[in-house]
Amino acid sequence: MLIFNVASRKASIGKKKGQTLYFAKAVAGGRLTASAVEDYIADKTTLTRGDVRHAITSLAEVVRWALSEGLAVDLADLGSFKVEASSKMVDRMEDVNAAIVKQPKVRFFPRRAMVQYAQRVAISVRVGQEAIPSAPSSPDKASGSEPSAEGEYL
């Protein structure tokens, strides 16, 4: 669930300059720790927690290496990592060189199924202490099969 508080800010530019405007401001959410991920994978496979940790460390190493070589990395059902960089525009073709290329950035492109899971997250906006929930998340999430944000299994 994503939780938001109602916040306000006085507009400083535009048609609404000087007017107090309201918006939903995200509250810091929970986090699934690396330790909880390791436990979850170890429970679902024949791997030990140590094996899982080594596999994740090795995955990170190969992703770093591939990205440093300019290669995209496909991680199956998760998505892909890719290094991208854009360029400044110049007036003359002779001025196009490596110096006008902006700092490269790592981008992650999730698979469609990952995006669809994100779109099913329930949203709640808190006004003071009162929560105004959105529609509930999809009922197809199997209880007992997903770790909680604290790392415990639900």
Would the pTM count as exceeding 0.75?
Answer: no
Instruction: Say if CB 131 and CB 108 are below 8 A apart.
Output: no
Handedness of CA 41, 151, 118, 141 (dihedral sign): positive
For residue 133, what pLDDT is reported?
A: 64
Buried b (16+ CB within 10 A) or exposed e, 48-64: eeeebbeeeeeeeeeee
The whole-angstrom separation of Cα 57 and Cα 54 is 5
Residue 149: pLDDT over 70: no
Q: Among residues of the chain, what percentage have pLDDT more than 90?
A: 70
N- to C-terminal Cα separation, the chain: 14
Residue 109: pLDDT over 60: yes
- Please name the helix (run of DSSP H) or strand (run of DSSP E) that holds residue 32, with its range, or none: none
For residue 127, what pLDDT is reported?
A: 84
For residue 2, what pLDDT is reported?
A: 87
Instruction: Say if CB 2 and CB 103 are below 8 A apart.
Output: no
The whole-angstrom separation of Cα 154 and Cα 40 is 11
